[in-house]
Structure 1
Amino acid sequence: MSLQFHTVPVTPFQQNCTLLWCEDSKRAAVVDPGGDLDRILAAVEERGLKLEKILLTHGHLDHVGGTAELSKQRQLPVEGPHEDDNFWIEQLPMQTQMFGFPPVESFTPDRWLNQGDTATVGDELLEVHHCPGHTPGHVIFFHRPSGLALVGDVLFAGSIGRTDFPKGDHDTLIRSITEKLWPLGDEVRFIPGHGPMSTFGQERQTNPFVADKRFG
C-alpha cells in the first residue's frame, strides 16, 4: 500500500498527530500538529520523510497548537480546516491561557477546505468531507484506495466528539457521522483525534452514541 501512516500522541491531551506519507516519493504531511514538535520531527527524520504540508481537521488548540511554528520552521503550507473554524484559530492565544498551555501564535491557513475538495500527500489523493458538530468547520480526510479515514474529534472508538464548546451542536454531529462517515463503508479504518483506531462497522455495532440500533 503506498499511503503509510504513523501516529504521535502530543500535548497533555494525548492528541493523535498523524504523519501520512506516500511510500513511493517519501513525501509527507503532518495532520494536526498540536504541539511537541520535537517528537513529531523526530518521527519524520527516523523515517527519512520529506515534509510538504500541514493538514488540519479543526481549530482546537490540541490539534493546531504547533502549526504556526512548524509552518515557519519548515516553510510548509497549511491546508484546512473549513473556514467556519477561523474563530477558533483566531482565539488560539486565548485557548492557550484557558488550558494552561505555553503561548502559541494564531495563523491563517493557505487553503481553507470544503466538502468535495481533495488534498494530496505525495502522489496520493485524500477526499475532504466537511463534518461539523464538534466544531462548525471540522473536516475529515479519507484515502479511498486504502480505506483509511482521519476523523479528528468527530468520532472515537466507543464515543463521539464533545459538543458543549462554542458553536458545537450534538444533532449536527450525529448527522455528520451517519450521513458523511457511514456511507464511506463499514470496512473503513479510522484514526481518531484521541485514543485507539477502530472501524466504522465496529462503531455502527457497538458505539452507544451512534450505533445503528439507536436509530432503528
Structure 2
Amino acid sequence: MLVAGFPVGALQANCFLLAPAEDADCVIIDPGQDAVEPIEEALRKHRLTPAAVLLTHGHFDHVFSAAEVCRAHGVPVWIHPEDRAMLADPARALGPTATALFGGRIEMAEPDEVRELAGDSVLELAGLSFTVDHTPGHTKGSVCFRISTEEGGSLLFSGDTLFAGSIGRTDLPGGDTEEIMRSLKEKILPLPDDTVVLPGHGPASTIGRERVTNPFLSGGGASFPTRGL
C-alpha cells in the first residue's frame, strides 16, 4: 500500500493520498488550504489517478481545496451529512470570533458531486476497503477512516478526533465534549494497540501509545489544551 501525507495551509492540516501501489487509482483524504499543488506533485511522482476525495469533517482547513481537486479530476467527494453544509458555508462551523481571525469571511463552493457517508459502514474505493466510523464531538459529522494493510496492521485516519497527545477541540459550533469522549471510548480505544494513527494535524502515533500517554485517554485531561481548528 502507498501512503503519502503532507501538511497544508496556514493551520498545517494533514492531507493524505492512499493507493494499493504506484501507477494505480488513489483516494485523497482532507485536501485543505493550498493542497492542490502538493497533491498534483504526488500524483505525478507516484503515477496515481484520483478516484475520490474523502473528508474526515467539514472544517475549512481540511476541505478548502476539495471542490478544485474534484473538478480537476472529475471525482466525487464523500462527507458525513451532518457536515455537508460546511462545504459551501464554512463560517457556520466557526462562529463569529473564529471567523474574524480569517478576515471575517471564508469563501468556498460545494464540489459538483457530493456523496454522503453512512456512519459505521464500509466504503470500497480505488481497490481499497475503508471502514467508516462516525465519531462526533469535534463536529457533528466527524468520521474516522480505518484500513487494513497487507502486512496485517491497520491505519486510522482520525481527522481532528484524536491527535498524538491530545484530542479535537469542542468549543466551536457543533462541538460536544461528552460526544467526543464517547466516540473515543466506544470507537477508538477498542482498536488494537498497533493501529497506526494518522491525525488531521501533527505527527503520527499508535493507539497503544495514546492509550498510555494521552492525558485525555488516561484521565486528567481537563487541564490540557485540545487541538484542531
Could you state the TM-score of these two structures normalised by the residue count of structure 1?
A: 0.89
| 2:187 maps to 1:180 | yes
Please show how residues 5-154 of structure 1 align to structure 2 within 5 Å.
5-23=3-21, 26-36=24-34, 37-80=36-79, 82-92=80-90, 98=100, 99-100=102-103, 103-107=107-111, 110-145=114-149, 146-154=153-161
Q: Find the aligned partners of 1:108 and 1:160 in 2 and give their Cα distance.
A: 32
| 2:218 maps to 1:211 | yes
Within the candidate set 187, 206, 229, 1:199 is matched to: 206
* 1:212 positional shift: 6.2
Kept in 1, the 8 Å contact 2:159–2:199? The answer is yes
Secondary structure, counterpart of 2:217 in structure 1: coil
Kept in 2, the 8 Å contact 1:92–1:105? The answer is no
Secondary structure, counterpart of 2:189 in structure 1: helix
Kept in 2, the 8 Å contact 1:65–1:92? The answer is no
Structure 1 stretch displaced more, 199-208 or 21-30: 21-30
RMSD of aligned Cα (Å): 2.2
* 1:115 positional shift: 2.1
Kept in 1, the 8 Å contact 2:77–2:111? The answer is no
Task: Name stretches of at least 5 consecutive residues in structure 1 with no aligned partner.
Answer: none
Specify the alignment match of 2:2 in structure 1: 4
Kept in 2, the 8 Å contact 1:53–1:79? The answer is yes
| Inter-CA distance 143–90: structure 2 relative to 1 (3 Å threshold) | same
* 1:39 positional shift: 1.4
Q: Percent identity?
A: 37
Task: Name stretches of at least 5 consecutive residues in structure 2 with no aligned partner.
Answer: 222-229
* 1:106 positional shift: 3.0
| 2:173 maps to 1:169 | no
* 1:92 positional shift: 2.7
Query: Letter of the aligned partner of 1:120 in structure 2?
Result: E
